[in-house]
Structure 1
Amino acid sequence: MATIDEKDPVVVIIGSGAGGGTLAHELTTKGVKCVVLEAGPHLTRDDYENDEWRAFGQMAWLDMRTTSGSWRVAKNFPNLPAWIVKAVGGSTTHWSGATPRFMNHEWKAATTYGKLDGTTLLDWPIGTDDLAPWYDKAEVAMGSTHRHGRPPLPANNNYKVFAAGAEAIGLKYYATGPYATNAEPYDGRPASVQDGFNFQGDKSGAKWSTAVREIPRALETGNLDLRPECQAVRITHDAAGKVDGVEYLDASGALHKQAARVVALAGNSIESPRLLLMSASSLHPDGLANSSGQVGKNYMRHLTASAYAAFDKPVHMYRGETMAGIIADNAINDPNRGFVGGYYMETLSLGVPFMGAFLDPGYWGPDFTRKMDAYDNLAGMWIVGEDMPQETNRVTLNTDVLDQHGLPVPNVHFDDHPNDIAMREHAWKTAEDLYSAVGALWTFRTPPYPSTHNLGTNRMSARPEDGVVNSYGRTHDVENLFISDGSVMTTGASANPTLTIVALAMRQADHILSEMGAGRL
């Protein structure tokens, strides 16, 4: 690992997850010196806990946050709006591994869906053709199954129930992937041992993450200075308005400043707008790169609901991959269903502790114990759907509540749009029909829980007044400041976002290298 002087203006990347870790790898392997500031510790596979509660305490971002709005999370988990990771690798160390691409219509949501009251729908400034080669590159790097000759994962019992139900009700597009978990050894990673615990900290290394692939390879170049347990607290700029450094607190609480030639912010859709808002100055009184007033707005989190069914025989849904298959039939746009946009159905198994926590928070009694007692006989799925961007769904600074560093915490406000509610209801009903068609004794729904897909808040736009960044994630206001995470998403689409974040980061790295070569950065 390189040791870079804090006065040396280099590329400073804030965050090491799907976007930040990928960007660091792409730049350092091309000879560019980078500092990565990561708020969490550097956990490796030897550190990971194969126990849900201990793993949650070890990895989750548990700094104080507040929540408002009518969503269930504000009532049930008021200080945990998002279930994301605070560690090197970010939430790529705790994810399902699903890697579907955006569909063509999802890049042009405003044009496709038309005017929808209460939304801030906007077409992306890029489309399928722009991202296709980067999707290819990302899938190869991540080892996506069902892609580029990669074999599929074997079907577990949860998937067999799922697929049989899909066939029984006439659904056609179901498969055991694509997932970025190896079915056979690939790219220095072993094959999956079908261990559900690789969902949160993969001790085997079969599942792709930037902690397993990109960060170690970037360190091997000698061009990366990785600084874990370093919380960025302010991005600074010079008199001309160009960013020139990042102030951060180290593990002891000491304040430092790393000089920067370029800053790439990849802190996720909550921390990234928070940092821009905390970096307000006389030139940027409403927050850095916020002349549009769009920083923090249009927060999206997908539908994030689930459904389960009890059978007369054991399913053992927890054996094998936690997420082992996808149904794509309803990811299309068909307004005749009563909503625009679409959703995926994906197999899901939560361990006993989280099943108890997320079944229906605050819920108890005979019906609750009946469901928990049926655990071995349950099959389950998660519903991943496109929620609508709304200006009022946003991340703001809560100056009444301070974190452990004395800084204002982010407040996450969210209300469902009527389109979200209609889509979730359709998805729940489809799940119930699917399970009933293969003999379920009874089914039940679980409400949305803390967000694992956090999108928007620094959205990409063709016009500066409509968003925060351009088609390369470069902020409209500050030429050497980039955003490299899911917060740039103009709309959320129905796909799990990690593949798209990685592809966008690869495309962004190519652009940064080109601009550096031309002397413009």
Structure 2
Amino acid sequence: MAAIFDLNDEEVVVIIGSGAGGGTLANELAQKGVNKIVVLEAGKQFTFDDIENDEFAMFLKLSWLDKRVARGAWSVTDTGPNLPAWIVKGVGGSTMHWAGVSLRFKPYEFKTRTTYGDIPGANVLDWPISYEDLAPYYDRAVQKMGVSGVAGGMPQLPESNLAKVAIAGAKKIGYKDFTHPMAINSQAYDGRPACQVIGFCMQGCKIGAKWSTAYTEIPRALKTGRVELRPESMVLQVQHDKSGKVSGVLYADKNGNKHLQKARLVAVAANSIESPRLLLNSASSIFPNGLANSSGQVGKNYMAHATQGLLSVHEKPVNMHRSNAVAAIIGDEAKNDPSRGFYGGYYFEVLQLGLPFTVAFLRPPAGWGRELSSAAEAYDHMTGVWTCGEQLASEGNRVYLHATEKDQYGLPVPIVSNSDHDNDAMLRRHGAVQWRKINEALGAHRTLEMPTWSSSHNMGTNRMSAKAQDGVVNKWGQAHDVKNLFISDGSQFTSSAAANPTLTIVSLAIRQAEYIADQMKKGEI
């Protein structure tokens, strides 16, 4: 298919990635009248016909399976040595795969250095924006995405038996904070149907009840005539002129042919692994350590949340499969209370897993033979949870380039190194103890621990900072070093907080679009 906008047109706005950040940014800019926007997406464009209610079929179809290397002390180094992240390679990015959880950061989570102080072994930093700065954009994101179960959104999704069991146990140990903010329609909204509780939320959502840029933001952006989508276009390098200003993007199409798209500005929204990798692979004589990397912070401060999966076996059936991917959220521990032995907090995200993934994720921690088979036999009696907690920023947790191994395009593959800070480990242990208490209060007789999964929540690596030496971008996601280069995904996060990142990524993209449109109108970029 021939390009709509000329490769040599220097007025083109190039957005790399079509997920929560890139897809939202493209539509917001187009609706504001910005012309000539090209979205480059490494993966394919899927239709509803491509979506199957089959965990492993969709894992193979959607996942980014290009070679990556996991290193560090996290269990992924052993369980997924070449799959440190479980994200999507396709139009819509990981909004195709996410469960729909739409939690806001708490005000203190924007000010972790002020709140926690200097923590040895960590690299915590305050965001250059506050909760109050982002609050109106959270409100707009809730409306855009159709979030149910929150003020200003739709009614809450129907409560499943899994949710009822988990909440009953939580109440028995004194918990009171139960919520369920989901970007899943509880009633017909925005041209999309209400949820039918099919249960395969993380496999794409066959009916489109769950929000994804693949069938909301991207189609609307294309309809304006101001946006061109180029799927199966893997970006290899961001180029710049003699002054250091970004001038174009080199990419390879599905046939391996290389093209250079000239650009007025570039927004990178390729997730917290590919975004820093791209900047590092764009090193030059002006930027010898990587594009926009005068601080040396590109790729550093990788955060994947402090997480764990747990399954508890009850005396009576629970039938957790009759639920959305996340049935309920328990928020009592999502607070900063250092008396527990750690900073920051975590959520209990009451989790529905299909039987195939349950068995796959249980091995080998549950053992083999009878240990594993007895767990599988108890599937319909299980409650599941994914504890999602703040992981502290650390320079040692980082994304960097492999010294020798190259990908299919001849570029160094990324290495993702991640290890627990003591704070992360203590938070995780506390969550395991509390989950057992919740379930044992209802008579559960067995709890099974799963290893840390390949991360779906990838943050940091191009973080926001007030001072250029502390990060990569300013409060608008604009590179400190390069005025017409922006970061528009979760890699700009200064802290991970305990909340799932998507709602915040979308809110930041809406805010960033206002700034970019204004600066373009004024001729500043």
Which bracket does the TM-score occupy, shorter chain normalised? over 0.9
What letter corresponds to residue 261 of structure 1 in structure 2?
R
Q: Which residue of 1 aligns with 2:412?
A: 408
**Alignment equivalent of 2:479, drawn from 460, 475, 479:** 475
State yes or no: 1:8 paired with 2:12. Answer: no
Q: 1:157 aligns with which of 154, 157, 161?
A: 161
1:385 partner amino acid: G
Q: Which whole-Å CA distance do the structure 2 matches of 1:133 and 1:189 have between them?
A: 25
C-alpha distance in structure 1 between counterparts of 2:47 and 2:151, whole Å: 28
8 A Cα contact 1:198 1:204, kept in partner = no
Select 1:103's aligned residue among 103, 106, 115.
Answer: 106
SS at match of 1:304: strand
| Distance in 1 separating the partners of 2:85 and 2:192 | 29
Structure 2 unaligned spans of 5+: none
Q: What amino acid does structure 1 have at the position aligned with 2:7?
A: E
Aligned residue runs from structure 1 range 204-223, under 5 A: 204-223=207-226
CA distances 1:129-154 after superposition (whole Å, capped 9, x unpaired): 10011000001101111230410000
Query: Which residue, out of 487, 494, 506, partners 1:502?
Result: 506
The answer to whether the aligner puts 1:60 opposite 2:63 as a matched pair is yes
Report deviation, 1:8. Answer: 1.3
Tell me the amino acid that sits aligned with residue 342 of structure 2: F
1:284 to 272, 287, 305: 287
The answer to whether the aligner puts 1:517 opposite 2:521 as a matched pair is yes
Superposition pairs of residues 368-447 of structure 1, within 5 angstroms: 368-447=372-451
Equivalent residue number for residue 21 of structure 2 = 19
Counterparts of 2:89 and 2:403, CA distance in 1: 22
CA distance in 1, matches of 2:243, 2:119: 40
Aligned counterpart for 1:338 among listed residues 333, 336, 341: 341
Q: Deviations over 1:45-87 (max 9, x none)?
A: 1111211111000000000001111111001110000000000
TM-score, length-scaled by structure 2: 0.98
Q: CA deviation at 1:293?
A: 0.2
User: Residues 72 and 448 of structure 1 are in contact (CA less than 8 Å); yes or no, is this contact kept in structure 2?
Assistant: yes
Deviates more, 1:343-352 or 1:282-291: 343-352
Partners of 2:320 and 2:306 in 1: CA distance = 22
1:147/1:178 contact within 8 Å kept: no
The AA in structure 1 aligned to 2:351 is: L
Deviation for aligned residue 1:377: 1.0
Counterpart-to-counterpart distance in 2, 1:507 and 1:92: 19
- Native 8 Å contact 2:327 2:352 kept in 1: no
Q: What SS class does the counterpart of residue 435 from structure 1 fall into?
A: helix
Match of 2:453 among 430, 441, 449: 449
- Among 490, 497, 500, the residue aligned to 2:494: 490
Task: Give the SS at the match of 1:397.
Answer: strand
215-224 vs 195-204, which deviates more? 195-204
Return the offset for 1:447: 2.1
State the Cα deviation string for residues 291-346 of structure 1 (Å, max 9, x = none): 00000000000022111111122211011211121111100000000000000001
Distance of 1:272 and 1:19 partners within structure 2: 12
The CA distance in 2 between the partners of 1:384 and 1:147, in whole Å, is 23
1:31 aligned to 2:45?
no
SS for the counterpart of 1:346 is strand
Instruction: Report SS of the residue matched to 1:325.
Output: strand
Task: Report the equivalent of 2:43.
Answer: 40
SS of 1:355's partner is helix
d(CA) in 2 for partners of 1:86, 1:486? 16
Residues 351-387 of structure 1: CA deviation (Å, up to 9, x unaligned): 2222122113474122111111111111111100001
Q: What percent of counterpart residues are identical?
A: 55
**Residue deviations 1:435-466 (CA, integer Å, cap 9, x gap):** 11112122222221100100000000000000
Give distance in 1, aligned partners of 2:237 and 2:500: 30
Q: Distance in 1 between matches of 2:415 and 2:287?
A: 21
Q: 1:2-38 CA distances to partner (integer Å, 9 max, x unpaired)?
A: 8111111211000000000000000111222200000
Aligned equivalents of 1:14 and 1:364: distance in 2?
Answer: 43
- C-alpha contact (below 8 Å) 1:166/1:174 kept by paired residues: no
Which amino acid letter does the alignment assign opposite residue 4 of structure 1?
F
Q: Aligned equivalents of 1:360 and 1:293: distance in 2?
A: 39
Give the match for residue 130 of structure 1: 133
SS in structure 1 opposite 2:438?
Answer: helix
Which residue type is aligned with residue 5 of structure 2?
Answer: I
- Alpha-carbon RMSD across the aligned residues, in angstroms, is 1.1
* Kept after mapping to 1: 8 A contact 2:41/2:91: yes
Q: How many Å separate the matches in 1 of 2:264 and 2:153?
A: 40
**Which of 226, 230, 235 is 1:227 aligned to?**
230
Alignment partner for residue 262 of structure 1, among 232, 241, 265? 265
What are the equivalent positions in structure 2 for 1:108-257 lying under 5 Å apart?
A: 108-145=111-148, 146-175=150-179, 177-257=180-260
Q: Distance in 2 between matches of 1:99 and 1:20?
A: 18
| Pick aligned residue for 1:305 from 291, 305, 308 | 308
Aligned pairs (5 A) from 1:65-80: 65-80=68-83
* Superimposed CA distance per residue, residues 192-229 of structure 1 (whole angstroms, 9 cap, x where no aligned partner): 00111122211111000101210010011011110000
CA distance in 1, matches of 2:321, 2:27: 34
* 1:61-114 deviations in Å (ceiling 9; x for gaps): 000001111111001110000000000000000011011100011000011011
* Contact 1:13-1:24 within 8 A present in 2 as well: yes
Task: Say if 1:83 and 1:361 are closer, same or farther in 2 by CA, change over 3 A.
Answer: farther
Contact 2:323 2:352 (8 Å CA) reproduced: no
Question: Once the two structures are superposed, what CA deviation does each residue of 1:137-175 show, in whole Å capped at 9, x if it has no partner?
Answer: 001101111230410000111111111111111100012
Partners in 1 of 2:202 and 2:65 — Cα distance?
18
Taking the aligned partners of 1:59 and 1:195, their CA distance within structure 2 comes to 19
Structure 1 length-normalised TM:
0.98
The CA deviation at 1:512 is: 0.2
Between the aligned partners of 1:112 and 1:452, the Cα distance in structure 2 is: 27
Provide the rounded CA distance (Å) in 2 between the counterparts of 1:97 and 1:322.
Answer: 9
Give 5+ residue unaligned stretches, structure 1. none
Residue identity opposite 1:472 in structure 2: W
What amino acid maps onto 1:16 in structure 2?
S
Give the number of equivalent residue pairs: 520
One-letter amino acid of the structure 1 residue matched with residue 361 of structure 2:
F
Question: Does the 8 Å CA contact 1:304/1:451 hold for their aligned counterparts?
Answer: no
